[in-house]
Chains A and B, each alone.
Chain A
Amino acid sequence: MFAQKRLQKELHNIHNYLPPGIGIASASDLSIWKMDIQVLDTNPLYADQIYRLQFKFSQSYPIEAPEVTFVKEDGIEIPMHPHIYSNGVICLDLLGKNWSPVQNVESVCMSIQSMLTSNTKNERPPGDDNFVRSGYRSPRNINFVYDDDTV
């Protein structure tokens, strides 16, 4: 119940204001939202591209982190990044063990946006093939090892 209340509040704010490069694609209910993000500087990897993030909220949000993945839709690709698997799963400590209830959809979008902005490597995470083949879509069931602080 507290999840709904908080999400309504966030949605209200999102409709009022969003930072540049972040937009709301769809939020028809209070369990799955889709957000569009765009890298604003001239990073050649992501220039003029819009990427779509999918947020899945559990009933325990914001105590529990939302499941955040990139999604592939018409004309929208999964961004190239050494921490983003080609099925859209994002390896980001903020969405896992370092999640904190003070984070919100906007702050998560901004973190991911800056994660893309600062990236220079045009590559997938090591072991991407295996990971994607295993079909694990939900980030919740994955124990990431966050050991790269450079990105």
Chain B
Amino acid sequence: MDVNFPDPTDWLSTSVPGIQALETALSCQVCKEFFTAPVATSCGHTFCSLCIRRCLSATQKCPTCMTTDDESRLRKNTLVQDILSSFTAIRKQMLDGLVIKEEPEPPITKEPEAEKKRVEKRSSYDFDEEIEEEETTNNKRRGKRRKQEEAPVSSGGSSDRPRRSTRTSSQRTNSKISSQTAIVIDDSDEDFNPNEINSDNEFESGSRPKRGRPSRVPETPPTTNLVPCPICGRLKEPEQIQSHANRCIEGKRSPSPSQNAANAASSSLSPLKRPPISFSNIPKPAATQFRAPYTEEEKQKLKLAKGNFTLTKEADIRKRLRENGIRVDVKGKESKNAIWARLQEWTNLWNANLDSEMPKTKQALVKELETSERHQQSQKPSVVQDKEFAREEWGKDHRTEYENMIADAKMRVLKKKNEAESATNGDKTDTASEPPRMTAEVNGIGSPEIIET
């Protein structure tokens, strides 16, 4: 199971465990993750745009205080967005700097001489710059870095703080060079699930480090003086870096990752050694997936209304879905309920996307809707509705229940026959003994098959 994601409890093992509360406050109470496009309800509680829209379509109540609320009253919470962006940008750095307990180092595979040489090299030529670059003057850092470079791929699941993986270098680069870029990166990677609709490689080219993903720096033997590419984090010869970075920006993949070697000194190279790349010139990653944020005007214009189930005709629902390019089955195959649910989910996705800092294109959203629906269908929790439902097994398991019910029914019929004056006695057994304080009225009468559907 992948537990490789940021969690407030990460802070408990640091010297400032109180940050846990701060991080919890910056997390949506519905999905328990960092806010994605935070919006505030009219009662003042903040949630992810999509989460609260889903909640409100189920019950028109604020999940926290149960006050009645409506989607139309949701307002974007820019302050929370800003705080969150700054927090996520420095989170890794803080966590590394504040950590007390040090995990046992993995067995060192390199020769001690090589190790020593690297240390000397580092201290001789870029130590000062390094201090400038990083606020953390933690003396454990070196060990950590060594660890992450020696076992970059496996570091993900092996420790209790799995996030400390090899993307350090690229993330540091990002947060250092352009906090603006880091903001976009960090806040959008949670809920977008880019890997569902896109391959990892496409994203690598787009300078979007994914939180909680295993490292993407290839495991290779150490050589000297390599420079991390500011875009993809791969290590390159200083002479090659310019052309490599240009290729990265253009979205082309690096020819062969195996040529790129990991090196302890390289990841701490000063900004001076990096090629002069202006991040503002970098095109939006995977332009087919994302688009520029919506303006307020556009939002007002494009916002979809929820509509009313009874007042909306089935044909209209189909029409609206088809207009958006969403799959609808041939008429009659799907119930009005099913297509209505799809339209509601689409409305939620669409409206939440309007609030996003990094909105997706319509096609990407449609794809997301389809993926999530397929996913839900493949894992239907209800046993009875499932096509694979083991009828015989069910029958065996519930045999006594069926028999009891048959016996019950027979008894009732007998009673009816015998006692003419109590013709409705059988039915009354349920209601006559109805408890005075707490009652359970049951929907539908019949076999368990009906109950469970």
User: Could you list which residues of chain A lie within 8 angstroms of chain B, going by C-beta atoms?
Assistant: 1-2, 5-6, 8-13, 16-17, 31, 56-60, 62-64, 82-83, 85, 91, 98, 100-102, 104, 125-127, 130-131, 133-138, 141-148
Contact = CB atoms under 8 A, between A and B. Distances in A.
B30 A102 contact: yes
A134 B30 CA distance: 35
Contacts of B64: 100, 102
Given A63-B58, A102-B63, A133-B408, A9 B30 contact: no
Interface stretch (B111-119, B299-307, B316-324, B441-449): B441-449
A129 B64 CA distance: 37
A64 B55 CA distance: 9
Given A100-B61, A141-B442, A141-B444, A62 B30 contact: yes
25 contacts: A8-B1, A9-B31, A10-B32, A12-B5, A16-B9, A17-B9, A31-B381, A58-B381, A59-B381, A63-B55, A83-B438, A85-B440, A125-B435, A125-B438, A126-B435, A130-B430, A135-B398, A135-B401, A135-B405, A137-B451, A141-B452, A143-B442, A143-B443, A145-B440, A147-B438
Nearest to B429: A130
B5 A127 contact: no
A1 B376 contact: yes
A98 B65 CA distance: 11
Interface residues of B, number: 50
A85 B30 CA distance: 30
Given A12-B7, A13-B7, A127 B381 contact: no
A8 B302 CA distance: 34
Contact of A101 (B51, B376, B430): B51
Contacts of B442: 131, 134, 136, 141-143
A16 B17 CA distance: 14
B375 interface: yes
A126 B66 contact: no
A13 B66 CA distance: 25
B74 to A, nearest CB: 15
B33 interface: yes
Given A102-B64, A138-B452, A147 B443 contact: no
B311 to A, nearest CB: 24
B64 to A, nearest CB: 5
Nearest to A58: B381
Interface string B406-445: 0010000000000000000000011001111111111110
Contacts of A147: 437-438
Contact of A145 (B33, B381, B438): B438
Contacts of B398: 135
Contacts of B430: 130, 134
Interface in B359-390: 371-372, 375-376, 379-381
Q: Which of A2, A125, A136 has the most CB of B within 10 A?
A: A2
Contacts of B441: 142-143, 145
Interface in B10-31: 12, 29-31
Contacts of B429: 130
A145 B439 contact: yes
Contacts of B380: 59
Nearest to A82: B438
Nearest to B66: A100
Contacts of A131: 440, 442
Nearest to A31: B381
B381 A126 contact: no
Contacts of A133: 404, 408
B30 A141 contact: no
B408 to A, nearest CB: 7
Sort A-B residue pairs by CB-CB distance and give the 5 closest, nearest first: A126-B435, A127-B435, A102-B29, A12-B3, A101-B63
A63 B54 CA distance: 7
Nearest to A17: B9
Contacts of B376: 1, 59
Contacts of A13: 7, 9
